[in-house]
Amino acid sequence: MPLGLDYGLIAALCWGSSDVLGAIGGRRLGSLPVVAIAQAASLLVVVVLAIAQGSGLPSDPGVLALSLFFGVVAAGAYMSFFTALRIGPLSVVSPVVAAYGGLTVVAAVLIRGETLTFLQALGAALATAGVVLTGVVFEGGWRGTRFAGRGVVFSLIAMLLFTVLTVGLATPIRAAGWLPVVLGSRLANAVTVWAVLGIILVVRSPRASVLLSGSLIVLTIVVLYLLACDPLPPCPGTVKKWIRGLVPSRLAAPENESAVGEGG
C-alpha cells in the first residue's frame, strides 16, 4: 500500500473522530472554547515536533508572511467548522465540510494549473456537488428549497475556507518544507482563536481579563522564542546573548579573572 494512502487513512480516522468529539464538546462547553483548547493542543504538538527536528519558523519573510496569513484563515475555518458541529445535524454538516477535498481538486486545476483527466475532474465535481446537496431540503419544488439548518451555512463557510487553506499552503510548503510552515500557521491560528475568545470573555465578564492577560503573556513568550531561535532547540547562542545583556558584569568578571590567571 502506498505511503500516501496510509497517511490519508490515518487522517480520515482522525477527522472522523474529531467531528464526533467536537460536536459533543461544543454542545457542552460551547464551540469557541473547544476550538481554543484544540488549537492550543495542536500548537503544542507542532512545537514539540519542531524541537525534536531542530526546525524553526520559515527564514524567508515572504514564506513566513504566507504561513501566518493562512494561519488566520485556518482559525476562521476551524471556528466555523466547530460552530457547525455544535449546531448540527452532525450527519449533514460533517460530510459537507469534508467536501472541501473535492473542491480543492477543482481549485488546484483552476488556480495552480494542475491537470486532471476528464473522468477525474468529473468525479471530483460530482462528488462535491452530491455531498453539498445533502445539506439542502427540497419542499414543494425549487421555491421551497432551503438549507437543512443553520449548521449547514457554517459548514459551507468552513468548506470554502479549508479549500483556500489547502491550496494556499501548497506554495510555502514546497518552498520551505511542511514543518516550518505548519509551525507558523498553527501559531497564527492559535493566537487568533485565543484572541477572539479573550475578547468575548472580557465583554461578558471583566474578571476574565486576568485569564486573557495570562494567556497573552504565555503566547508572547512563545512567539518571541520562536522568532529568536532558528533552529529551535535549545537556542543556546541566543539565550546566552540575552543573559550577557542582562547581567554583563557578573559574566564578565570570571572571564577577566581567568584571562589574568592565564597571563600570569
- Round to whole Å and give the CA distance between 221 and 214: 11
Q: Are 79 and 196 in contact (CB under 8 A)?
A: yes
Same domain, 104 and 224: yes
110 compared with 230, residue with greater pLDDT: 110
Does the pLDDT value for residue 113 go beyond 50? Answer: yes
Domain count, the chain: 2
Same domain, 82 and 192: yes
Same domain, 257 and 139: no
Same domain, 252 and 180: no
Largest CA distance in the chain: 101
Same domain, 176 and 242: no
Under the banding of pLDDT at 50, 70 and 90, the label for residue 176 is confident
Q: Give the pLDDT confidence score for residue 251 in this predicted structure.
A: 43
Q: Which amino acid is at 124?
A: A
Does the pLDDT value for residue 149 go beyond 90? Answer: no
What domain range is 256 assigned to? 236-264
Same domain, 24 and 86: yes
Same domain, 254 and 137: no
Residue 51, Cβ density class (10 Å: 0-12 exposed, 13-18 middle, ≥19 buried): middle
Same domain, 149 and 112: yes
253 compared with 237, residue with greater pLDDT: 237
**Across 9-23, 85-99, 192-206, 236-250, least confident range:** 236-250
Same domain, 174 and 255: no
Beta bridge partners of 136: 147
Same domain, 185 and 109: yes
Under the banding of pLDDT at 50, 70 and 90, the label for residue 252 is very low
**Of 148, 152, 187, nearest in space to 67 by CA:** 187
Average pLDDT over every residue of 224-246: 54
Q: Are 73 and 172 in contact (CB under 8 A)?
A: no
Per-residue pLDDT of 72-87, as tens digits, reads 999 999 999 999 888 8
Same domain, 135 and 54: yes
Q: Give the pLDDT confidence score for residue 248 in this predicted structure.
A: 46
Q: Give the pLDDT confidence score for residue 255 in this predicted structure.
A: 46
**Across 2-11, 122-131, 202-211, least confident range:** 202-211
Beta bridge partners of 137: 146
169 compared with 201, residue with greater pLDDT: 169
